[in-house]
Chains A and B, each alone.
Chain A
Amino acid sequence: MVHWSAEEKQLIAGLWAKVNVEECGAEALARLLIVYPWTQRFFASFGNLSGPTAIVGNPKVRAHGKKVLTSFGDAIKNLDNLKVTYSKLSELHCDKLHVDPENFRLLGDILIIVLAAHFTKDFTPTCQATWQKLVGVVAHALAHKYH
């Protein structure tokens, strides 16, 4: 089980309280599709993904980004119980969605960059280190039920 210090929990909760889940989620997913275009393979039904402008403006991308980051919020509420919390989601990503877990790492790193651009100086090295640990652990939990 992953150990979280009081400081780490504070850095996570403190930043999360200021995150606009809809905006950050939309931006993170859009950037995933732009920076790593092969990830578009999972979103064939999303319509126009022809370029950065189209992707950023795509309402399905925005909505799904919000969904993904809202789910991330569940992880934050259940830091000490992540594998169980994400058990069904993990099965879904493996059995129905067929997503390579490497993509979770990519999205995690992108989320970090979105947060950095948003919070600038407040996104200190210690803050980044804690959040890199968090996205790593979340990615791991999501991959846990793969078989």
Chain B
Amino acid sequence: MLTSEDKKLIQHVWGRLSGCEEEVGADALWRMFHAYPPTKTYFPHFDLSPGSDQIRSHGKKVVAALGTAIKNIDSLSQALSELSNLHAYNLRVDPPRFSLQFLSQCLQVVLAVRLGKEYTPEMHSAVDKFMSAVAAVLAEKYR
């Protein structure tokens, strides 16, 4: 359950990323494809080479979606409803529980790389909880 302290921390972290959304998203996706090769199976139509435009633009999209989620953190189900439909009926990525876990890990690594010591245990905890909440919402309509 996200406490008000968690929400503040998440907003703070996101604020620190302002202006770098594309880079952060692309870095997270690239790391995910590298560390968890099976995740590439969902992107056979993508150019997955380093610096690929598709990875950059998709990374930007993902981070923007997370940003929207954060702005509507008290009504995640509603805010992510369309994305939830997309993942359940179109993309049918294996339950986001698993995939988001890999994306969440890689996003957190990117945050840690960028923020270093500033990525405190409290921040780490808040982001991890947030990503779990997002994954749960995205998986809501699977069956």
Contacts and interface: CB of A to CB of B under 8 A. Distances in A.
In this complex, the interface size class of chain A, counting residues with CB under 8 Å from chain B, is 20 to 34
A113 B35 contact: no
Contact of A35 (B30, B36, B109, B124): B124
B122 A123 contact: no
Given A116-B109, A117-B112, A117-B117, A31 B36 contact: no
A123 B34 CA distance: 13
**Which DSSP category, helix, strand, loop or mixed, fits chain A's interface?**
helix
B14 interface: no
A116 B113 contact: yes
B78 interface: no
Interface of A: 27, 30-31, 34-35, 52, 55-56, 109, 112-114, 116-118, 120-121, 123, 125-126, 128-129, 132-133
Given A116-B113, A120-B116, A125 B121 contact: no
Contacts of B121: 27, 30-31, 34-35, 52, 55-56
